[in-house]
A and B are shown apart, each in its own frame.
Chain A
Amino acid sequence: MFSFFAPAVAVMNRLKYPQKFLLVGFALVLPLMILVSQYLAGINHDLEFTSKEQIGLIYNAPLLDLLSDVQSHAALVQGWLVDPEEYEVALRARQDQINAAIETADQIHQEYGVVLEIDSAWTKVRSAWNVLQARTGELNAQESHDLHAALVNDILSLITISGNNSNLILDPDIDSYYLMDTLINKLPVTTQYLSQLREYGLKALMNKELTPGDQTRLTILSELALASAEANRVGYQYAFDVNPDLQQMLREDINTATSARDGLIALVSAQQFDNTSLSSSLYLSVAHTAINQQFMLYTRVSEELNQLLQQRLDGFAAQRNRVLLLALAGVVSAAYLFVGFYLSVRKTIATLEHSSELMVRGQVSEVLALDNRDELAQVTIAFNKIAYEMVTARDRALQANRLKDEFLATMSHELRTPLNSIIGFTGIMLMGMRGQVDDVAKEMLQRIKGSSEHLLGLITDILDIAKIEAGRLDLVMTPINIRALTDRWYTQTEVLARQKNLAFEAQVAPDVPEQIVGDSERLTQIITNLLSNACKFTEVGTVQLRVHQQDKSLIFQVSDTGIGIPPEAQEYIFDEFRQVDGSTQRVYGGTGLGLAITRKLCMMMGGRIQVRSTLGQGSTFTVTLPLQVSDELTPMAQRSLPYAS
């Protein structure tokens, strides 16, 4: 199972947390985004689709006004041809209305014509009207009827085109589809049938003559109007079946329109009509009402359809907003949680890091308390375990070290005390302070004194080494007068040189500053050790100490003309208990620790020691220490050296 995830583990191991999050986030969010955007594109398409349907309704509204006016105009022209005086005013008014309707429709066309891809059809309607208007005075009844019928057909086909191009014809819902069907295909046609009934009826009544042709036409138109009404009724029924609310909303309007229409048709088939005794103005008024009721129904249906479309649009918009909101909420909450996760991890790691730094610096803190309950908590537990172990181990080591120090201090004191007595009393006897001793005894006392001093030196050196290695030796830095100190070294070592008749020189170069800062006791230990070694290993010649300054370093050179050190031995003479060879100690004495201590002290002071030697010709030990110049005595230094002068 693990091997299946191995590549993922490998990738995750190489990434930092923010990168991990980004990767996982992308893997999740990217497909999600694609899905959401596709879904949104779908919704947007639906929105546009439905919006375009609304545009179709808007575009058709003035066309219906125009249709109504043109139909009315057709009837008025028939009336005018028979009785110009009676209809002159109404005809002119209607023409103005038509021109106004054309103007309104044209504005709407300017706005939406391009969207609906309608141009030539509208132009055709406009020019057809212009021709009709210009020729109205010179036409006979038949010509007028034909031209009006042609214009109405143009308007009807324009309504159909806008219905097609505005998607209305493709409406996906049953209720809205049938409402659309009424508006685009049926109601306008119905009005045209009724309008022609009005036109022919009026002509007949005004001429007081019903020709057989007119009679046939009127009968056919009545039948067509009824058939169209029936088709409408069926269409409404389909819509009402799926949307009963619509029936409530439209019932009265439909009933009104139906009864008005039936009134007109009843009038046409009445006896009074057949003998043309019916008043033409009464007939015209009934016909107007019937047709106007159709247009009012159109307006109502159009309102309801627009309402349905608007509901659908609102539904789509709400759906889109829900999806967007959900996606946004998902992304935001995921990001929020990711950031929280990251901060939690970082806080934990920072705490662990801080504690580990404290631990490294030796400040082992209390048990680390974190409020994590996750995998990192296990790390914390492990960390605490390590910390506990470290504290225990450190305490144990400290305890052991303290015991060792105490042991060393006690040992050295306990060993030194009797040795001090041995050395002191032997010296007193050798000096003859309490009576003379003979030469044999003196010789033995010398041996006792030598051995005791050697032993004391060993103890002291071992203790020094132990202290240095335990880091328990602190340098005491004070201002030093290097020339005065050199005098002291000279005095201390001169005795040794004089015993062997060696020439002894000590020189401090003029460029060495008057005051330097250093640990005078440790420096003394270094130089006197080198000087006494030089005296020890030189039988004839000179021992020299030179002090000079070079590149911010203080350089001490101790050279002799002694036995020298073989090249291979030069590598290890600074190691503990190593002298040139085993016989050296027998012949020259010494603990074998002096140079080891000297080198350790040099390193503690930030310096170094080197040796150059030729076997049989002598050796030069060079100590290089960083030079710290003291400009003036600090008050502290003055307190520690009250008699330095």
Chain B
Amino acid sequence: MLPDIPSDILKNLKIVVVDDDPGSLDVANIILLFYGAEVHTATNGAEGFELATSVRPDFIITDLSMPVMDGWTLLGRLREDTRTIDIPAIALTAHAMLGDRERAIAHGFHNYLTKPLTPNTFIRDLLSLLVDIPEIAGMLKQA
């Protein structure tokens, strides 16, 4: 438990997480739930897009390389649809895929998070990204 981060900091947020690896998906799910978020998970881009249109989350975290539909395509679909056009998307990248990070931002992802996800780094990195988004920053429960 991280003493400087209140466990309900994500309480008002609805998040969709998309990843084809059930392990990573569960880890993200558990951590985000722990901090009070409402989490919806999908295992590929197509499912993720369905969820995004039905749930209308505050933001989306998505892996990039996935079967059926990858993260790049998912982003494109989100940006083409009026219902999802405003939803910020954060990319999940593996450390080895360094070039992906710049590419992700160039393509229109808000930012990126690096695997592996650990409670410590994941929540810190996520929060530091979220404060850049004015609509979401206001919804964070400050300690």
B23 touches A433 (CB 8 A): no
A624 at the B interface (CB under 8 A): no
Count of residues in B whose CB is under 8 Å from the partner chain: 30
Which chain A residue shows the least CB distance to B21?
A417
Complex contact A521–B101 (CB within 8 A): yes
Closest to B123 in A: A431
Asked if A420 is at the interface (CB within 8 A of a chain B CB), the reply is: yes
* A412: Cβ under 8 A from any B Cβ: yes
Contact present for B117 and A420 (CB under 8 Å): yes
A/B pair count, beta carbons within 8 Å: 85
Once A641-B105, A642-B105 are accepted as A-B contacts, the answer to whether A418 and B120 lie under 8 Å apart by CB is no
Residue pair A476, B99 in contact (C-beta under 8 Å): yes
Q: Does B106 contact A (CB under 8 A)?
A: yes
* Segment of A42-50, A84-92, A190-198, A456-464 in the binding face: A456-464
- Which residue of chain B lies nearest to A474 when distances are taken between CB atoms in the complex? B99
B52-110: which residues lie under 8 A (CB-CB) from chain A? 65, 94-96, 98-99, 101-102, 105-106, 110
Residues on the A chain within 8 Å of B117, using CB: 420, 423-424, 427
Tell me, rounded to whole Å, the shortest Cβ–Cβ distance linking A383 to chain B. 40
Given contacts A433-B31, A476-B102, A478-B102, 13 further A-B contacts (CB under 8 A): A416-B96, A421-B23, A421-B24, A421-B26, A423-B117, A424-B117, A427-B118, A431-B2, A433-B30, A433-B119, A464-B96, A521-B102, A522-B98
Q: Are B31 and A463 in contact (CB under 8 A)?
A: no
* Chain A interface, number of residues (Cβ within 8 angstroms): 33
User: Given that A416-B96, A418-B23 are contacting pairs, would A643 and B1 also be in contact in the complex, using a CB cutoff of 8 Å?
Assistant: no
Query: How far is it, in angstroms, between the C-alpha of A420 and the C-alpha of B115 when the chains are bound?
Result: 7
Interface check B6, CB cutoff 8 A: no
List 19 A–B pairs whose Cβ atoms lie within 8 Å, in order of A's numbering. A420-B117, A421-B24, A421-B26, A424-B116, A425-B23, A427-B27, A427-B117, A432-B1, A433-B1, A433-B34, A456-B116, A459-B96, A460-B96, A464-B96, A476-B102, A478-B102, A521-B102, A522-B98, A642-B105
Interface residues of A (CB under 8 A from B): 412-413, 416-421, 423-425, 427-428, 430-434, 456, 459-460, 463-464, 474, 476, 478, 521-522, 639-643
Point out the residues of chain A lying under 8 angstroms from B24, CB to CB.
417, 420-421, 424
Residue of A nearest to B24 (CB): A420
List residues of chain B with CB within 8 A of the CB of A432: 1
B111 beta carbon closer than 8 Å to chain A: yes
CB neighbors of A among B12-69 (8 A): 21, 23-24, 26-28, 30-31, 34, 65
The CA of A642 and the CA of B28, in the complex, are separated in Å by 26
Q: How far is the CB of A519 from chain B (nearest CB, A)?
A: 9
Q: A464 — which chain B residues lie within 8 A by C-beta?
A: 96
For B115, give its contact among A416, A418, A430, A643 (CB under 8 Å).
A416
**Closest 10 pairs (CB-CB, A-B):** A421-B23, A424-B27, A427-B118, A420-B116, A423-B116, A431-B119, A427-B119, A433-B34, A640-B106, A424-B117
Q: Given the complex of chains A and B, what is the CA–CA distance between A418 and B99 in angstroms? A: 23
Closest residue on chain A to residue B111 by CB atoms: A643
Report the minimal beta-carbon distance from A63 to chain B, rounded to whole angstroms.
Answer: 115
A417 cross-chain contacts in B, Cβ below 8 A: 21, 23-24
Q: How close is B126's CB to chain A, nearest CB, in angstroms? A: 14
Q: Tell whether, in the assembled complex, residue A460 and residue B95 are in contact, meaning their CB atoms are under 8 Å apart.
A: yes
- Separation of A60 and B124 alpha carbons in the complex (Å): 134
Q: Closest B-chain residue to A462, C-beta based?
A: B96
CA distance A427 to B117 in the complex (A): 9
